[in-house]
Chain A
Amino acid sequence: MRDLSAFPVTAKWPAQHPERLQLYSLATPNGVKVSIALEELGLPYEAHKVSFETNDQTTPEFLSLNPNNKIPAILDPHGPGGAPLALFESGAILIYLAEKTGKLLPSDPAARYQALQWLMWQMGGVGPMFGQLGFFHKFAGKDIDDKRPRDRYAAESKRLLGVLNRHLAGRQWIMGDDYTVADIAVFPWVRNLVGFYGAGDLVGFADFPEVARVLAAFVARPAVVRGLAVPA
């Protein structure tokens, strides 16, 4: 039986099940990557909501776990060597969960690196570009008269969608038959772009039928349906 009550983060978000992996998150594209992966893997976990409305992410309790004040973050009571492990950055968490369980990454070494390549492609490209497009299209940035920032991020988002669309032709998932953490990283962001951000027309989403096909298959997965609603 683990006792995590000395961890300052548990003062604000008490662990009811301290033997389970603790997830501190919000149902954003980056947040749901981790809950979807946990659901796919069937790992027992306890989800805690980090509310942006009350700036939970900048509280000392949250910062004690993640100095980068962003969700998601985890505290795994059973980390490597049996010691608790704290992690932030959704991409790093996905790799950790995949390696911990031996699932969601191909076993073939070359394919594994290619899956990581697409994961990094999401972390460095899709996330930042789609995120900025959301800001300039839907949020505070939409009132800026100068449309060059919005157009720049729209063009880059289109380019990324084109790359993905070409790659997905003839493949079930990003790594072909293998459903991996790369899919779990990429498709919540695609879903968010055309859904919550309402930027489908702006990026000409109809031009990317392969992306739309895999997105539909992704959101139909029961674990994805469950993971998208975490934390409640």
Chain B
Amino acid sequence: MSAKAPHILVADDNPINRMMAARLLKEAGCNSVLVDDGTHALTALQSQRFDGVLLDESMPQMDGSEVLKELKRWRDEGRIVPPVVMVTGNDLPSDLERFLALGARGLIPKPLSRDSLQRALALLRARL
């Protein structure tokens, strides 16, 4: 992430969650773009450069796992893909394992809070 305000994409089908994420991100000094589905997340990722993605798992048209799979394809094609942290209620160890295998950096259980956003941002900012 550069010194200027980090640009974060939030994908979540729940409008309250999106609003909450936007507010917490603003508080943390980040800009955010909000989308309500995986398909819109991919559209946004194609047209803008993000420093990180907070991705929900269950969304109506295209879920988080499908987004991760598509991003993996992009990466395999040599495209630069921002780091992704899952923000989801599916937070069993087996879920984490599955998301890691799909290329996510980690998982933050819902609901997002000021503290858990800080943890997510540390993971997004990390050089891994």
Contact = CB atoms under 8 A, between A and B. Distances in A.
Interface of A: 2-8, 11, 60, 63-65, 75, 77, 79-80, 83-86
16 contacts: A3-B115, A4-B119, A5-B119, A6-B108, A8-B105, A8-B107, A11-B93, A60-B96, A60-B100, A60-B101, A63-B100, A65-B128, A80-B127, A83-B126, A84-B127, A86-B128
Contacts of B125: 83-84
Contacts of A64: 100, 105-106, 128
Nearest to B126: A84
Given A64-B105, A79-B127, A86-B127, A3 B119 contact: yes
B97 A60 contact: yes
Contacts of B107: 6, 8
A103 B121 CA distance: 31
A215 B74 CA distance: 50
Given A11-B93, A84-B122, A6 B127 contact: no
A7 B116 CA distance: 12
A64 B105 CA distance: 7
Contacts of A3: 115, 118-119, 122
A83 B100 contact: no
A70 to B, nearest CB: 16
Contact of B123 (A6, A63, A79, A80): A6
A3 B119 CA distance: 6
A209 B116 CA distance: 57
B1 interface: yes
A6 B120 CA distance: 6
Contacts of A65: 128
A8 B122 contact: no
Nearest to B118: A3
B101 A83 contact: no
A10 to B, nearest CB: 9
A2 B126 CA distance: 12
A85 B126 contact: yes
Contacts of B101: 60
B93 A83 contact: no
A170 to B, nearest CB: 42
Contacts of B85: 6
A104 B97 CA distance: 39
A211 to B, nearest CB: 37
A82 B67 CA distance: 30
Contacts of B96: 8, 11, 60
B30 to A, nearest CB: 14
Nearest to B2: A81
A63 B99 CA distance: 13
Given A3-B118, A85-B126, 12 more contacts: A2-B122, A6-B107, A7-B106, A7-B122, A8-B100, A64-B100, A65-B128, A83-B122, A83-B125, A84-B122, A84-B123, A84-B126
